[in-house]
Amino acid sequence: APGVIDANGFAICPDCDTNVNCGKVGISNLEKRHRGKKVCLDQIARRDKSARTKKNTSILSFLQPKPARVPSTVTAPSLIGGSGSSSTWAPLIRSAETLPDRPRRATSERAPVIQKLRNLVLRLPTSVLVAVSDDALAIFSGNPEQTVDPQMDGDEIWEGMMNSTLKRALGWGRELDLTGVVRRGALGMDGFVKFLDYFMTERGVSAERVEGKLEYLFETLAKMTAEVTLPLITPVGVDNEMDPASVRAVASSQADEQPHIEVTETINIPTTIDVDALPDDVVVSSRQRSTCTGYHLPIPDGQSPHSTYPFALHDSVNPPWDYSVVNGVMSLVARGCDGTPMKGREICRKCENLENNMTLTGILSRMKDGVHENAPFAYHPFSGMVEVLHRKSAQIKHLRLRGLNQARKLLVQATALSDHKRFALAIASGAFERVGRLVSIALKQRRGIRGILTLYDAAAKGIYKPKSYTEEDDMRGLLLWRLGGNRIAHIAHRALGLPGLTTLRNRSIMPPLITSPSMPTTSWQLHI
């Protein structure tokens, strides 16, 4: 449908009805690079011009009387008889009177690709179905003269219509199984040959372009006709026990059974025998034709092609070969391989030359030495991708665990920082004065910041009273006790948190009396 991209990356332009390759970007390429551009506008102009010049045919034209046939001046070639003078060969073609009376170009003027395709089509076996109007090749059965503008040259025909039509029918590359596309009859391969013959012979379409599109079709036809065996028609000679009347009857019956075959100037009679029209009980001979096996890719010992070959490279680099794996052996077939091996070999020249391809040399080197970790993923085989995935998974796991641990540490530190701020605010409030003594006791008890806050709150509420005093507290209490007596010491204990009277009495230090046998000297007193 117009504006919808298909599986091959192509989309039909809704303006000029051209099949446009949108690439990997998608349908946006149709809007950015084609619609409204010079190519699109030129195609619209050619289409409109063709529509104006196209003949307005009517269905009544089929009822008009057709002109009488002009007898052909071509005579059938004389048949080569056997060694006996009375031997008669079965005719391989019809007489000149039954040949179609339409002008044809000489076979020598046709491209070799047409002759090759025609010979393969004539050898199709009866097992190939006859085409109907719903088949893919039926689009080529119409009159090719009415499909394009008569003023268009070969390059314009190829770019405007022919290339996209061949892609729709035969697929892009080798992804389509053409054995299900090939059909016999006028709606099948016969119409396809007629279509190509007209545009290549009459309209000047390049044979090189067409041949490149038909490589896979030639391979498919060669495989389908490889098992076909041509019958050996035994001549009726004088040695056979048949009278002349019987000989003529046999010749006549064989002639009536022959299908219609067009005669050109250089027809190869032995290769144009229709095996479908011959009886089934004739003597046949078969000859197996060997095909190219392709280049066998050397796989390192202990490894498998499924895990060592970079299959994804065919999407990014598109190397000039296709691959297949059979029984653990990987074969590479060149895109230009015609299936015919060299004499005495199992491989053709093009497949053998793949060994010197730089891309394949790099693949073999990486299969042997390994792929760099930072190389694009397309260059990694499946085993390499699994190894890279394991490494990435280990790194991700390590980073996730480290991030989780750091998050937990930061949460603990943030909580501790919040507790320190609370303690600073508590000290600033002045609810409890002997903060230093409280902190000293808490640290001796191995309490944290929350434990210190708990002790401070209890001390501020009067629930907890630190019982440990410094020497400074003792000296203050002793001073007040000595100056004011017991009542002042008790008041200082209750109001200022100084040691009680009992503690002060236990802390009182009386200097000992030391007797001196003589007058004390200054140095002796300092020593004491």
Closest CA to 18 of 134, 208, 168, 152: 168
Asked whether residue 280 falls in the same domain as residue 299, the answer is no
Domain final residue pick, 401, 433, 460: 460
Asked whether residue 363 falls in the same domain as residue 420, the answer is no
State the Cα angle at 353 between 347 and 355, rounded to 5°: 100
**What pLDDT is stored for residue 125 in this prediction?**
87
The two three-digit tokens of residue 96, written as one number: 């000149």
Asked whether residue 436 falls in the same domain as residue 324, the answer is no
Q: Is residue 278 part of a domain?
A: yes
Q: Is residue 98 part of a domain?
A: yes
Alpha-carbon gap, residue 330 to 295, rounded angstroms: 8
Q: Is residue 77 part of a domain?
A: no
Asked whether residue 144 falls in the same domain as residue 33, the answer is no
Q: Is residue 523 part of a domain?
A: no
**What pLDDT is stored for residue 246 in this prediction?**
45
**What pLDDT is stored for residue 277 in this prediction?**
54
Closest CA to 389 of 401, 409, 373: 373
Contact 350/337 with Cβ under 8 angstroms? yes
Q: Is residue 205 part of a domain?
A: yes
Long-range CB contacts (within 8 A, 24+) of 449-453:
449/416, 449/419, 449/420, 449/423, 450/419, 452/423, 453/419, 453/422, 453/423, 453/426
pLDDT tens digits in sequence order for the chain, 528 residues long = 566 777 777 888 888 888 888 877 777 878 888 888 888 888 888 888 776 655 444 444 433 444 555 554 544 444 333 333 333 333 333 333 333 443 433 333 567 888 888 888 888 888 888 888 888 888 888 888 877 777 788 888 888 888 888 888 887 667 677 888 888 888 888 988 888 888 888 888 888 878 877 888 888 888 888 755 444 434 334 344 444 444 334 444 444 444 444 434 444 444 455 555 555 544 444 345 578 888 888 888 888 888 889 998 888 888 889 988 888 888 999 988 888 888 888 889 889 888 888 888 899 888 888 888 888 888 889 888 888 889 889 989 999 998 999 899 888 888 888 888 988 988 888 888 778 888 888 888 888 988 998 988 998 888 888 777 778 888 888 889 889 889 998 898 888 878 888 888 887 666 677 777 788 788 877 766
Contact 199/159 with Cβ under 8 angstroms? no
Asked whether residue 348 falls in the same domain as residue 494, the answer is no
Alpha-carbon gap, residue 276 to 128, rounded angstroms: 11
**What pLDDT is stored for residue 509 in this prediction?**
67
**What pLDDT is stored for residue 106 in this prediction?**
38
Contact 156/46 with Cβ under 8 angstroms? yes
Whole-model pTM? 0.29
Neighbours of 94 (CB within 10 A): 16
Alpha-carbon gap, residue 363 to 365, rounded angstroms: 5
**What pLDDT is stored for residue 245 in this prediction?**
42
Contact 308/299 with Cβ under 8 angstroms? yes
Domain count across the chain: 5
Asked whether residue 351 falls in the same domain as residue 396, the answer is no
The two three-digit tokens of residue 387, written as one number: 């190894």
Alpha-carbon gap, residue 356 to 367, rounded angstroms: 16
Asked whether residue 98 falls in the same domain as residue 153, the answer is yes
Closest CA to 275 of 266, 263, 285: 285
Residues 6+ apart with CB under 8 A from 349: 342
**What pLDDT is stored for residue 393 in this prediction?**
92
Q: Is residue 192 part of a domain?
A: yes
Asked whether residue 318 falls in the same domain as residue 235, the answer is no
Asked whether residue 268 falls in the same domain as residue 158, the answer is yes
Asked whether residue 115 falls in the same domain as residue 218, the answer is yes
Q: Is residue 133 part of a domain?
A: yes
The residue written with tokens 């314009």 in the block is 156
Alpha-carbon gap, residue 201 to 400, rounded angstroms: 70
Range of the domain at 498: 471-507
Residue 79 burial class via C-beta count within 10 angstroms: exposed 0-12, middle 13-18, buried 19 and up = middle
Alpha-carbon gap, residue 215 to 173, rounded angstroms: 9
**What pLDDT is stored for residue 399 in this prediction?**
92
Long-range CB contacts (within 8 A, 24+) of 472-479:
473/437, 473/497, 473/498, 473/499, 474/499, 474/503, 474/504, 474/507, 477/503, 477/504, 477/507, 478/504, 478/507, 478/508
Alpha helices (H) along 353-470: 358-369, 382-429, 435-444, 449-460
Closest CA to 110 of 221, 214, 196: 196
CA 115 from chain center: how many Å? Answer: 37
Asked whether residue 148 falls in the same domain as residue 281, the answer is yes
Q: What is the pLDDT of residues 121-179, one digit of tens each?
A: 888 888 888 888 888 888 888 888 877 777 788 888 888 888 888 888 887 667 677 88
Contact 465/497 with Cβ under 8 angstroms? yes
Alpha-carbon gap, residue 31 to 314, rounded angstroms: 28
CA 419 from chain center: how many Å? Answer: 59
Q: Is residue 455 part of a domain?
A: yes
Asked whether residue 395 falls in the same domain as residue 372, the answer is no
